[in-house]
Amino acid sequence: MRVVLQRVARAEVRVDGVATGRIDRGICLFVGVHRDDTAAQADFLADKCLDLRIFPTEAGGPGDLSVRDIGGGVLVISQFTLHGDTRKGRRPDFTAAAPPEPARKLYEHFCERIAASGLPTGAGVFGAMMLVDLINDGPFTLLLER
């Protein structure tokens, strides 16, 4: 499983012109499910995202606080393209990405784990074409894998 985490000032996802998720200060998580991923990996990464100390206690200061600590929001977006292999040719190979139904189950499991934190949470729609609007705070972007 791969997660691209972006610390955001705000973020919103829209499907067919309708907002399906919106947060203020917090993290936006783009989640790609690999064909061999498990619920244990999803749990580990969800908890890791919630507990990473990436928010400063003061402007420009070090990252001492997690999204849990600041009571921030979490927006989760499914993104199978995170498992695109571009090492050969000019067309990405997506065979490492999980098939739709197993991927949907793990994505929903990940979202449930995030929502169980009690933080303001939003999500995209699995498999839909989405428009994601965000203001990256920093910019601050991490790639997490398990």
- Residues designated catalytic: 79-81
Q: Print burial letters for 60-79: b (CB count within 10 Å at least 16), e (below 16).
A: eeeeebbbbeeebbbbbbbb
Helices (H), the chain: 39-51, 67-70, 100-115
Instruction: Give the number of other Cβ atoms within 10 Å of residue 110's Cβ.
Output: 26
Q: How far, in Å, CA of 139 to CA of 146, rounded? A: 23
Pairing of strands 26-32, 73-78: parallel
Q: What are phi and psi of 143, to 5 degrees?
A: -110, 125
E strand or H helix that includes residue 91: none
Using DSSP, state whether 114 is helix, strand or coil. Answer: helix
